[in-house]
Structure 1
Amino acid sequence: MKIFNYRLIIFALSIVFGVVFAMPSFLQMESGKKINLGLDLQGGLHMLLGVNTDEAVSSKIKTYATSIKYFAEDEEILIDDLSMKNDTIRFMVLDEDELPKVDEMLSTIKGLSIQKPTPLDYVITLTAEEQAIVKDLSVTQAVETIRNRLDQFGLAEPTVIRQGEADIVVELPGIKTIEEERAARELISKPANLELMAVDEDMADQVYSLSPEQAAQYGDIILEQQDDPALKYLVKEIPILNGSQIIDAKVAFDQSNQPIINFTLNSSGARIFGEFTAKSIGKRLAVVLDGKVYSAPNIRERIGGGSGQISGGFTITEAGNVAIALRSGALPASVKLLEKRSVGPSLGADSIQASLLALILGFICVVVFMIVYYRMAGIVANIALITNIFIIVAVMAMFGATLTLPGMAGIVLTVGMAVDANVIITERIRELLKSGTSIGKAIEDGYANAMSAILDANITTLLVAVILYAYGTGPIKGFAVTISIGILASMLTAILGTHGIYEMLLNKIQKSKNTLFWFGVK
C-alpha cells in the first residue's frame, strides 16, 4: 500500500485544519476564532439612512470661506464684508493691487464659479459639476465615517453599504436592548462637526437683542450654550478651524474628575490655531460642536502645540462616543432615519434551527444515497463531504466572516455540489470497470477523464459567485462567500483527497477483486 502518498498527506492535513479551526464555531467555545452570525441569525438592527447632500455643498463652501479668510490674514490682504449666504461667498478686496494675489489663490481651487460685479467684488459659488461631485462624495464619505465609528464602537461585523444616490443601509447584528440601539443610533447620526469660532466681542453685549437676520448683516451667527439654551453667544460666521484638522481625540478628566475630550490638530491646524490665539489675546474662542457652544474660554496667551479640550458636562459614555466621532471624522452632511427594523434573537434562533434541519436532512439523504448506490466508494465520498463542511466553517471562522441565512442556504447547496465531483469520478471508474479495464488503470483513468468536467462545472460556478460577491448586497455576498469556499474545498477533497485514499487502498482493492463491494458494479 502507498500509505504515505502526497495526496493523502494533503488530505489528512486539510482534515486536521478543518477540525481544529471549525470546532470553536461548532461547540461555541470561548477561545478560538468563531463565525460571526449575521443580523438574520442572531437578531439586531436594520436601518435605512438618508444623507442630506445639500448640506455637504454648504459645508464645502464654508470650508472655502475659511481658507479665503486665513489666506487674506496670512498675506495681510485687506478684505471687507466676507460673508456666506445661500451657498455663495461674497467679499470685497480693498486694495486693487492685491487682486492678482487673490485671483491666483482662487485659481488653485477647482470647481469654483467666480463672478465679479465690480473689479473689487467677488461672488463665488460651486459649479454644477462640482456640486454633483461633492454630493456623490458626501455619501461615500458618510459610509466610510459611519463604518469607522461602528468599528471603533466595538460592534462585530457591522454592514454599512450605499443604496441608490443618497441612501445608506446599516445592519448591526447583536443589538438586543433599547439602550444598545439608542447608543448605536446616536453614534451613527452624530455629525461631530467641531468648529473653533471667534466670539464677536464688539457686538457680544447685543446678542440678546439681535435677530439672526440682523446678526448676519455683521457676518455673525447666534449660537446657544449646549447645557443652557438661555445662554447665547454671538460668533463670527466663518470658523477659525473645523474638525477636518483633528488627528486625534481622547477622553480625559479635569481637576473635578469630570469627563472632558482632549483633541489634537494636524500641523496646518496647529499653525492656524497658534497664529489666531497670538493675535486674539484677551478675546474669547468658542468651542462649537454640532452647532452648540460647549465652552468659550478667554485667550490669555498664544496656544501652541495644536491641542485643545472640550468640556460640557459629558457623561463618560457621551464623551467616549464624541471622541470616537471626532477621531473617525465629521459626517459631511446630516443623516436622517428613513426606515428601521429590529430583528429579535428568537427569530434568528428559529432561522438557525430551520437551516440546520435542512442541512442535516440534506446531508443524511446524500450520505445514505452514496453508500447504497456506490458502496465503499460512497463512504470515501462521504468522508470527503464531511471534510468539506469542516473546511468551509474553518475558513469562514479564520477570516471572521459573517454567516447569514443565505449563507446557510449556500452551505446546504454546497453539500450537494461537493458530492457531485465524486459522483462524476466514480461513474467514470465504473464505466471503465464494465469495459474490462483493470482496477488500477480504471481508477487513474477515471480521475483523468473526470477532471475536465469537474473543472468546467466548478470554475463557471465560481465565476458566478465572484460576480455575486462583487455586485451583490450583504446577504448575497454571504451566499457567494460560502459557495466559493465550498467549491474550492470540494475540489481539494474530491480530486486530491479521495484519490489519495484510493491509492492507499489500491492493493487491497485489487486483491479482493470485489468491484461490487468497492464501487457498486460487477
Structure 2
Amino acid sequence: MLNRYPMWKYVLLSLIVIISALYAIPNLYGEDPAVQIISKNNDFNNQKIFYTIKKLLKQNNIKYKSISTKNGIITALFNNIDTQLLAHDTIAKKISKKYIVALNLVPATPNWLNVIAASPIKLGFDLRGGVQFLIEADIHNLLKKIQHQNINNIRNDLIKRNIPYTKIYSNKMYSVKINFNNFQDLNNALVYLRSIHKNLLIEINDHSLIVTINLPYINQLKKRVIEQNIAILRNRINQLGISESSVQRQGSEYILINLPGIQNIAHAKGLIGATATLEFRLVNTDINSALISKKIIPFDSEIKYMTNGQPIVLNKEVILTGDHITYSNVNIDEYSNPEVDITLDSIGGDIIASFTKNNLGKLIATLFIEYKDSGKKDSQGHAVLIKNEEVINVANIGSQLSNNFRITGIKNITNARQLSMLLRAGALVAPIHIIEERTVGPAVGKQNIVRGLKACVCGLLSCVFFMVFFYKKFGLISISALLINLIIIIGIISILPGITLTMSGIAGIVLTLAVSIDSNILINERIKEEIYNGCSIQKAINKGYKHALSSIIDSNITTLIKSIILYAFGTGFIRGFAIMTIIGILTSMFTAILITKAIVNLIYGNRNITKLSI
C-alpha cells in the first residue's frame, strides 16, 4: 500500500528522536561556577574539611548552591562568578597551606540525566573561556647542549684515533673550535671527522678546525622538537584530566595551547610549564673529598649535589635518560617512604641490564633535572632558563637490573607524585617558556553562544516564513523535520566523545540547517510536478519522494566529500567546521527522507484525498 510505514519503523524513528532529545536536554542547564578543594598530600579527612568549609562560607555570608565530595575532591557550586571568586579567596586564605583551592566550571546537569551519562556539549576555548598560552621551545639551549655534546664526542674521537690537538672549546653560533700544532694533524682530523659526522660542517680556519651544525639539520631538529613537544604536552594535559584542550604549532618555534574552562591561570602555568627529566649516571668514587672541595676533578666527571647539599662526583657520560621511561607510578615502601616505580621500553631495558651486569658493586646516581624561567632575557632576546639539578638517589648495583626498577630517596609524597606524573607524560625534548598568556572569561564565550543561537533562530524563522508561504502544510512538515534535525545534531554532538563545539562549529550547524531545507524543496517540487502531470495525490507523494531521492543523495554526497577533505587536511577551526558539517549533512538526509515521509504518511497515508496543501 502506498504511503504507509509499518509500525516498527515509527517505533524506531520515535526512539531515535526521543534518545536524541534526552541527550540534548543537558545543554539547557549550562554550567555552575565552582570551587574545588584537593589535598596536596591526599591524606585528609574528607568529612572534617567538608564541615570546615561549610562553616567558613556560612560565617562569611557566602551563599552556595551545594557542596559535595567525590573521589577525594570537595566541590562547592555557586550561582555566579562573583560569589565564586569571593568564596575562593576566603577558602584559600584559610586552608591554602595544605590544600589546592582551584576555580572551575561544573555542568549543572540534574542527577536523573547523569544516570544515563547525559552531559552537555563540550565547548571549545572560544565559547567556554579559559586560559591560552603561547609557548616558545628553547631551541637555543638545546643547540648549546648539542654543542657541548659535540665537544665531548669530537674529543673522544680524536683520542681514539691518536690525533693530537692543543685545545678544543666552544665557539660562536653553536660551533666548536679545535686547535692543532701542525697541518698534518689538522688534515688527519679533518678527513676522519668528516667521515663519521655527516650532520656537521667541518672547515679549516688557519691552524684550526671550525665544526658547526649544518643548517638543514638545525631546521629538521626544530621541526622534530616542536612536534615531539606538542605530543608530550598533549599527553601531559590528558594525564591532568584537562579535556577539550588544543595544542598546536604556531610558526617554527612556538606552540599555542588553549585550556577551556580553566580559570586558575597560576595553577595551569605550573602544570604546563614544568620541564623535568631524569639522568642515570655512574658515581666516580676514585676522588677524595679534599679534591672535591677544591673542585679538582677529571675532565670526564663533574660535581653535582644531593638533596641535602652534599657534593658528589658523577661521570659526564649518561647511562640512561627519562626518554626511555614508558610508565611510572608512586608507591610507599616498607619504611613508609615514597618511591617511584619505573618501567622502561625495550631499548632502555637492554641498556640498563647490560650496564648493571658489567658494573656490579658500583654506585649509580639518579639525577633530577628541571628548567625554570628566570624572567630575564639574553642579548639575542632568548629567555634565560635556570637549570636546577639534584641527585635524588644513589644506589649500589647489587644485581643486574631489568626494565622494571624503583627510585627511592624522594623527600615527600607530593614530590614523588609530581615526578611520576611528569615522567609518565614524558620529558620535553627542549625546555619551554611561556611568552604570552591570556585569560578569556566565560562571559565572552556566553556572548558567542548567544550570537550563535540568534543566527540559528534567524535562519529558522527565515526558513519557516519561506516554506509556509510557498508550500503551506508541507512547509510546516519540513520545518518540523528541521527542528528534529537540530535536536538530533545536538544529541549526537553531546554523545560522541572527543568532539568539541567551537564558533566555527556553530557556523557549520547553521549552514547545514539552512542547506538541509533544500532537500525538502526538491521533494515538494517533485510532488507538485507529479500532480500537474495528472497523477493521483497518493501516487504523486510516492513518486515525489522516490524521484527526488537520487538528486538529494547526489547533492549531499558532493558536500560530504568536500567536508571530509576539509577535515583530513584542515587544522583547528577548519576541522571544527568540517566535522559539524559532516554530522549536519548525515542528519539532514535522515530527517528529509525518513522523518518527513513518516509525518506525511501519518497525515495522508491510506486516505482518499482530493486536494493537497502544497
Aligned: 1:143 with 2:240:
no
8 Å contact from structure 2 (residues 352, 402) kept in 1: no
Q: Out of 329, 347, 351, which is 1:250 matched to?
A: 329
Q: How many residues align?
A: 488
Per-residue CA distance 1:394-430 (angstroms, 9 max, x = gap): 2222222111122223223332222221122212322
Shift of 1:379: 2.5
- Greater strand share, structure number: 2
Task: Provide the rounded CA distance (Å) in 2 between the counterparts of 1:80 and 1:172.
Answer: 56
8 Å contact from structure 2 (residues 360, 400) kept in 1: no
8 Å contact from structure 2 (residues 338, 413) kept in 1: yes
Does the C-alpha gap of structure 1 residues 487 and 53 become closer, same or farther in structure 2, counting only changes over 3 Å? Answer: same
Per-residue CA distance 1:168-206 (angstroms, 9 max, x = gap): 1111111022xxx33332332223221012333345734
8 Å contact from structure 1 (residues 56, 134) kept in 2: no
Per-residue CA distance 1:343-389 (angstroms, 9 max, x = gap): 11222223223323332343344335433442221222123212211
Match of 1:19 in 2: 21
Does the C-alpha gap of structure 1 residues 267 and 491 become closer, same or farther in structure 2, counting only changes over 3 Å? Answer: closer
Match of 1:390 in 2: 487
Q: Residue type matched to 1:288 in 2?
A: F
8 Å contact from structure 1 (residues 112, 124) kept in 2: no
8 Å contact from structure 1 (residues 6, 500) kept in 2: no
Task: Provide the rounded CA distance (Å) in 1 between the counterparts of 2:313 and 2:163.
Answer: 21
Aligned: 1:191 with 2:288:
no
8 Å contact from structure 2 (residues 281, 366) kept in 1: yes
The one of the two structures with greater contact order (alpha-carbon pairs below 8 A, sep at least 6) is 1
Task: Provide the rounded CA distance (Å) in 1 between the counterparts of 2:429 and 2:163.
Answer: 28
Which secondary structure state, in structure 2, belongs to the residue aligned with residue 437 of structure 1? coil
8 Å contact from structure 1 (residues 465, 481) kept in 2: yes
Q: Out of 197, 207, 221, which is 1:134 matched to?
A: 221
Task: Provide the rounded CA distance (Å) in 2 between the counterparts of 1:165 and 1:457.
Answer: 40
Match of 2:545 in 1: 447
Task: Provide the rounded CA distance (Å) in 2 between the counterparts of 1:300 and 1:142.
Answer: 33
Does the C-alpha gap of structure 1 residues 296 and 242 become closer, same or farther in structure 2, counting only changes over 3 Å? Answer: same
8 Å contact from structure 1 (residues 196, 241) kept in 2: yes
Percent of aligned pairs with the same residue? 29
- 1:272-311 to 2 correspondence within 5 Å? 272-274=351-353, 276-277=355-356, 279=359, 281=361, 283=363, 285-290=365-370, 291-299=388-396, 301-302=398-399, 304-306=401-403, 307-309=405-407, 311=409
8 Å contact from structure 1 (residues 235, 286) kept in 2: no
Task: Provide the rounded CA distance (Å) in 1 between the counterparts of 2:485 and 2:419.
Answer: 46
Q: Out of 564, 576, 582, which is 1:484 matched to?
A: 582
Where structure 1 has 5 or more consecutive residues not aligned to the other structure, the ranges are 71-75, 91-105
Match of 1:97 in 2: none
Shift of 1:127: 5.5
Which secondary structure state, in structure 1, belongs to the residue aligned with residue 396 of structure 2? coil
Shift of 1:63: 8.5
Match of 2:515 in 1: 417
Task: Provide the rounded CA distance (Å) in 2 between the counterparts of 1:231 and 1:490.
Answer: 71
8 Å contact from structure 1 (residues 36, 157) kept in 2: yes
Per-residue CA distance 1:429-472 (angstroms, 9 max, x = gap): 22332443322332233334434543444233333323332343
- 1:228-243 to 2 correspondence within 5 Å? 231-243=310-322
The root-mean-square deviation of aligned C-alpha atoms, in Å, is 4.2
Task: Provide the rounded CA distance (Å) in 1 between the counterparts of 2:288 and 2:440.
Answer: 51
Structure 1, 411-420 or 465-474: larger mean CA deviation: 465-474
Q: Residue type matched to 1:350 in 2?
A: Q
Q: Out of 231, 247, 252, which is 1:160 matched to?
A: 247
Task: Provide the rounded CA distance (Å) in 1 between the counterparts of 2:152 and 2:221.
Answer: 18
Shift of 1:292: 1.2
- 1:172-183 to 2 correspondence within 5 Å? 172-177=259-264, 181-183=265-267
Per-residue CA distance 1:91-134 (angstroms, 9 max, x = gap): xxxxxxxxxxxxxxx99x995559899xxxx9998655444333
Q: TM-score, normalised by structure 1?
A: 0.78
Which secondary structure state, in structure 2, belongs to the residue aligned with residue 297 of structure 1? strand
Match of 2:527 in 1: 429
Match of 2:33 in 1: none
Q: Residue type matched to 2:301 in 1?
A: D
Task: Provide the rounded CA distance (Å) in 1 between the counterparts of 2:225 and 2:175.
Answer: 16
Which secondary structure state, in structure 1, belongs to the residue aligned with residue 548 of structure 2? helix
Where structure 2 has 5 or more consecutive residues not aligned to the other structure, the ranges are 30-108, 179-193, 371-387
Shift of 1:218: 0.8
Per-residue CA distance 1:128-179 (angstroms, 9 max, x = gap): 54443332111111111110111111111211112222221111111022xx
Aligned: 1:381 with 2:457:
no
Per-residue CA distance 1:296-320 (angstroms, 9 max, x = gap): 425263362441315443452x433
Q: Residue type matched to 2:138 in 1?
A: N
Per-residue CA distance 1:59-87 (angstroms, 9 max, x = gap): 678889999999xxxxx999999x99657
Does the C-alpha gap of structure 1 residues 266 and 434 become closer, same or farther in structure 2, counting only changes over 3 Å? Answer: closer
8 Å contact from structure 1 (residues 21, 33) kept in 2: yes
8 Å contact from structure 2 (residues 393, 409) kept in 1: no
Match of 1:362 in 2: 459
